[in-house]
Structure 1
Amino acid sequence: MDRFKQSNRANWDERAEIHAQDRTGFYAIDRFLAGEDVLYPIESAEIGAVSGLKLAHFQCHIGIDTLCLARRGAIATGLDFSPQAIAKARALSVRSGVQADFVEGEVYDAPDLLGTDFDMVFTSWGTITWLDDIRAWAKAIAGTLKPGGRLYFADSSPAIATHEEIDGVIRPHYDWRSAREKPQRFDSPTTYTGDETPLVTDFTYEWMRGTSDVIDALLRAGMQLDFLREHEVLPFKLFPMMVDAGSRMFQLPAGIPRMPLALSLGATKR
């Protein structure tokens, strides 16, 4: 594991400890334990029926979405590179009484770690920016799915991820593509949930890429695109100016030009 991934994993190990406590309610763990389905509205509306499907959740973090999908009837397995996140996910499975498997490992190794006969791969919110090889990601998806298996993906729009809010204005700030050996460094003393616990590893490395890179990688891997949609909401404040849109989602305030903040797609393995 290179120094970028080592640093990121240390950061995510720390975040897993903080997020599992969910002191701010960002992950709605108490609501989930009380029986509520806490998938965000975009994927909840688009994913379709999963009951009885063998489902792999890539980059599952502490497992809350994996367990929501299992509660919907999926035979779910979560995969994440953070051992602390996997430990928290397994503990949450026990606490909730919802059965799912959780495996520690790199997403690129998913076919070897999980198998090659899944009906669905699910991955959402804050995933591809952590990956240095989008084509290897797409190959892992295709390799994990059986023929006719489908992918559901939702994340920040790559087009908006290159922007920052500077002096109250959203401006282009980063190159739209990052070289594999030169990711963008981001410094943050705390995590994104609003919990003020200081992070020891208080920086991360992320890779910028275009929407075309994502689509091209999936097509090259043998996936057929079923739909591609853009959305004006996100489940987190990408920019400080964003305001509550309801249902644990955020949007740009009135008076700001509308922009695509999120992207979702479905694809099927040919």
Structure 2
Amino acid sequence: MDKYLETNRQNWNDRVSIHVASRMYDLEGFKAGKNPLHSIELEELGDVSGKKLLHLQCHFGMDTLAWARLGAQVTGVDLSDEAIALARSLSEELGIPARFICTDIYSLPGALEDEFDVVYTSYGVLCWLPDLRRWAEVISGFLRPGGRFYIVEDHPLANIFEWDEASGTLRIEYPYFPREEPMYFEPGPSYTDGEGVTSVGAYEWSHSLGEVVTSLVGAGLEVDYLHEFPICAWRRFPCMVQGEDGWWRLPPDVVEIPMTFSLMASKRG
């Protein structure tokens, strides 16, 4: 594992305890039966009963186990050994059958031999991947003929902005197009509530929407749709307001930008 992935593994190991204690993840609510999945993925992915589902970058498995509660036969994959250990513990504690594998995505073909009806990934995943071409090839390799890949993710355009408190506006801060070298972020708080901070920094990569689509098509998948939404699953900017539906939105006096996208692609048989 190269230095970037190893640093990020340690960073995500730190985040596990922070996220477990956060109101945002609401682990106790999940244990009591609350569904952490959002309306977009529930509506667009639809009925998963009896389907084999591979969840890439599954963190500590709440969403993976949520799909299992909805009838899927699930396999979750994550880089963080702390996250996978907790995912396995939750599976056992709650009596929800699931398989969890600790590896980076690029090494997954050496750790898993299977084909799936659905490959799924969501919210804050692409920035941790240096090579989308290889990512798409791995996805295609695990899909059975007729299988579907589904992603719901933070929109790349939203990723270029920071909130400027002084001016009360969004400020362009980060690149939209991919660069050879990743961006480095110093140790600090995670994106959830709480006081915890990471002990190591993190490396992230920018990926444009065009790169996402082209990588999947290049791996032999056919794009069924690409949807864009002005809502966010988390409070990306401090000015955002949460609606009764749980989604976060920019206030009316701020120009609306796409905050989330979803994409479905199929492997033709």
Q: Does 1:184 align with 2:183?
A: yes
Q: State the number of aligned residues.
A: 266
| 1:113 matched residue in structure 2 | 111
Residues 239-266 of structure 1: per-residue CA shift (max 9 Å, x gap): 1211112344211112111111001011
Q: Residue type matched to 1:126 in 2?
A: G
Q: Does 1:71 align with 2:72?
A: no
TM-score, normalised with respect to structure 1: 0.94
* Cα distance between partner residues in 2 of 1:103 and 1:163: 34
| 1:204 matched residue in structure 2 | 202
Following superposition, the deviation at residue 17 of structure 1 comes to: 2.3
Where do 5+ consecutive residues of structure 1 fail to align? none
* Cα distance between partner residues in 2 of 1:14 and 1:198: 8
Q: Secondary structure at the match of 2:243?
A: strand
4+ residue segments displaced more than 2 Å: 109-116, 177-180, 245-249
Residues 215-236 of structure 1: per-residue CA shift (max 9 Å, x gap): 0000000101111101111111
* Cα distance between partner residues in 1 of 2:103 and 2:155: 26
* Conserved 8 A contact 2:222-2:266: yes
Q: Residue type matched to 1:139 in 2?
A: E
Following superposition, the deviation at residue 8 of structure 1 comes to: 1.0
Shift of the 237–187 alpha-carbon distance from structure 1 to 2, 3 Å rule, reads farther
**1:50-89 equivalence runs, <5 A:** 50-89=48-87
| 1:147 matched residue in structure 2 | 145
Q: Secondary structure at the match of 1:158?
A: coil
| 2:194 matched residue in structure 1 | 195
* Conserved 8 A contact 1:149-1:269: yes
| 1:257 matched residue in structure 2 | 255
Where do 5+ consecutive residues of structure 2 fail to align? none
Q: Does 1:246 align with 2:247?
A: no
Following superposition, the deviation at residue 13 of structure 1 comes to: 0.4
* Conserved 8 A contact 1:236-1:249: yes
Q: Residue type matched to 1:49 in 2?
A: D
* Cα distance between partner residues in 2 of 1:96 and 1:233: 32
Q: Residue type matched to 1:125 in 2?
A: Y
Q: Residue type matched to 2:146 in 1?
A: G
* Conserved 8 A contact 1:178-1:184: no
